[in-house]
Amino acid sequence: MSEIFVVGGGCVPVGKYPLGSGRELARRAGEAALRDVGATFRDVDAMYAGVAMPTSPQAVLAAKDLGLTGLTVIQVINASASGLAAVHEAMNAILAGRAEVVLVSSWDVPTTKEDPIKSMGFLPPPALFGMWAQRRMHEVGTKPEHFAMVAAKNWNNARAIPHAARRADHVVTPEEVLAAPMVAAPMTAMMCTPWVYGAAAIVLASREGLKRLPGARWPLSRIDTSEARSEIYSGPDHVIESQVVGPPEISQRTVAAALDGAGYGPKDVDVVQVHDAFAIEELVYAELFGYSQPGETERLIEQGAFGPGSKERFGLPEFSTDGGLIGRGHPGGPTGVFQHIETLRRFREHGDRVGLCQLLGAGSTCIAQVATRVDR
Amino acid sequence: MTDGKPFRKDPLRLIGSRDAQTGQVYFPPRPLAVDGSLRATEEIELSPQGTLYSWTRFAGAFYGQIDLPEGVRIQCIIEDEAPEIGAAYKVVTVTEPSGDETWRFARV
């Protein structure tokens, strides 16, 4: 099967931007990604754009800002999973032999003040995940302090990331997280992703396509598998509609399939990026991915598992190393692209060998992708 | 969140649907079974009372998930000041500021 490499990337910092500025951000991110790999827009066979907001087809406009070269332009809308969905489709284009070099460009800046979550009739996301957390505390005895530890880790991871939305000028403590204003009990504001915008782009290429990219430099990230799933009816506890996302087991099935397809088990993974829009999620996903059991997870978090040095101390991967959705921020479209930028950074700067990216999309979908460091 | 989700008055009941072959009950009602077979479902009235599975408070409102005896979980705003997991809640109607009548669950 053809190898698919993440060759390089670029972005604009996650933060607040004027409504309607997404096209401009997309141009800046796309240009940065292409310059990172020593390419021009003329070297690109296709552009896949993952955009959550706005929902109007603006990818072709963003592509034209980079050049009117006649390439394939496809826009994918899959809520928070839009970025990984665009990567998924870009991979399909390479695997089908239709493209050797693909720009995956994703951005998120709405053009109006419309709330797409509310307009789709979903429960407010903080309310849903607040209920996940309340039930978790009832069943397992999890304390708000555990959610605060997860959030503090992600805030502190973001401090070293130049494009992160939340870059604290001090070490964030769980106590500070707990003292933040309450959003949806027990989730405080510092346990929740901020409402922010941004743009990110990566260049994908087959091994043949690398010949067109003189700026490519080893090691690279090779995406071995991409699994995109939707929910399966789980029984009487299944809330079919008005959930932003369905039962958490969707992540279990999707990630297990992605790891299995790549020939890995959970313990082979060094670094994990997840849909940590709310701190409860990261804790739950660690279990669903096969790293710990309810109750054990809390003890592991207390000891610093899933944070810096987790692999050496516990044999467990680090989670949300760029701050995740809580620290780096979560513009719905590009978050998945940011996850691949972070995976490549970890491969290059920390020597990690296997990475996992996972996102959920409202509705609900789950996409998981497994990447391996390739040194030459 | 409860907009357009059907209910019937006198007595107040939420309207769901049931797959006669599996006994699975859905809310809001859906025309077809969930297994992809395209099997049609039948309309049923749901029990007016259930137990609280989980809750939270967001933007000044309490939200909850209520498990009904038919085997269906309802998600909605709840009328309560100190929600308690496992406690009994019943469906009630409320009139929104717009004048529209809708439903919620309230502590029994």
- Taking CA atoms, A150 is separated from A325, A342, B56, in Å, by 12, 18, 20
Q: Do B58 and A238 touch (CB under 8 A)?
A: no
- The answer to whether position B32 is within a domain reads yes
Is A312's pLDDT higher than 90? yes
Least confident of A70-84, A226-240, A347-361, B63-77: A226-240
Interface test with B, best of A115, A131, A230 (most B CBs within 10 A): A131
- The answer to whether position B16 is within a domain reads yes
Regions of chain B with pLDDT less than 70: 1-4
Query: Domain limits at B99?
Result: 7-107
- What is the helix (H) or strand (E) element at residue B92, kind and residue range? strand B88-95
Q: Where are the domains of chain A?
A: 5-112+195-212
Q: Do A241 and B28 touch (CB under 8 A)?
A: yes
Is A116's pLDDT higher than 90? no
Q: What is the CATH number of the domain that holds B103?
A: 2.40.50
Q: Do B75 and A238 touch (CB under 8 A)?
A: no
Beta-sheet pairing, A197-205 with A101-108: antiparallel
Cα A188 to Cα A175: distance, rounded to the nearest angstrom: 11
Is A352's pLDDT higher than 60? yes
Region A145-153 average pLDDT: 98
Region A97-110 average pLDDT: 97
pLDDT tens-digit map of A237-289: 888 876 777 788 899 999 999 999 999 999 999 999 999 999 999 999 999 99
pLDDT for the residue A1:
63
Return the CATH superfamily for domain A5-112+195-212: Thiolase/Chalcone synthase (3.40.47.10)
Convert B73-106 to b/e letters by CB count within 10 Å (16 or more is b): bbbbbbbbeebebeeebbbeeeeeeeeeebbbbe
For A298, other C-beta atoms within 10 Å of its C-beta total 18
pLDDT tens-digit map of A6-30: 999 999 999 999 999 999 999 999 9
pLDDT tens-digit map of A190-227: 999 999 999 999 999 999 999 999 999 999 999 999 99
Cα A103 to Cα A201: distance, rounded to the nearest angstrom: 7
In chain A, what's the furthest Cα-to-Cα distance? 58
pLDDT for the residue B2:
56
Q: Could you say which of B35, B53, B58 has the minimum Cβ distance to residue A184?
A: B58
| Contacts B64 to A, Cβ<8 Å | 131
Q: Do B25 and A236 touch (CB under 8 A)?
A: yes
Interface test with B, best of A122, A123, A182 (most B CBs within 10 A): A123
| Contacts A240 to B, Cβ<8 Å | 26-28, 30, 34
Interface of B with A in 16-55 (CB under 8 A): 24-28, 30, 34-35, 53-55
C-alpha distance from B67 to closest chain A C-alpha (Å):
8
> SS3 for A23?
helix
- The answer to whether position B2 is within a domain reads no
Amino acid making up residue A103: L
Residue B65 contacts A where some CB pair is shorter than 8 Å = yes
- Taking CA atoms, A227 is separated from A294, A340, A372, in Å, by 25, 15, 15
pLDDT for the residue A283:
96
Amino acid making up residue A230: S
Confidence of residue A235 (pLDDT cuts 50, 70, 90): confident
Q: Do B24 and A233 touch (CB under 8 A)?
A: yes
% pLDDT > 90, chain A: 87
Q: Could you say which of A131, A135, A238 has the minimum Cβ distance to residue B63?
A: A131
pLDDT for the residue B3:
56
Q: Do A183 and B24 touch (CB under 8 A)?
A: no
* Chain A residue at shortest CA distance from B70: A236
- The answer to whether position B1 is within a domain reads no
pLDDT for the residue A121:
74
Residue reference for tokens 């695997």 = A95
Is A316's pLDDT higher than 70? yes
Q: Do A185 and B72 touch (CB under 8 A)?
A: no
| Contacts B46 to A, Cβ<8 Å | none
| Contacts B85 to A, Cβ<8 Å | 134-135, 138
Is A43's pLDDT higher than 90? yes
Cα A24 to Cα A89: distance, rounded to the nearest angstrom: 23
**ipTM > 0.90?**
yes
Q: Do A124 and B58 touch (CB under 8 A)?
A: yes
Residue B72 contacts A where some CB pair is shorter than 8 Å = yes
Length of chain A: 376
A349 within 8 A of A335, measured Cβ to Cβ? no
pLDDT tens-digit map of A301-311: 999 999 999 99
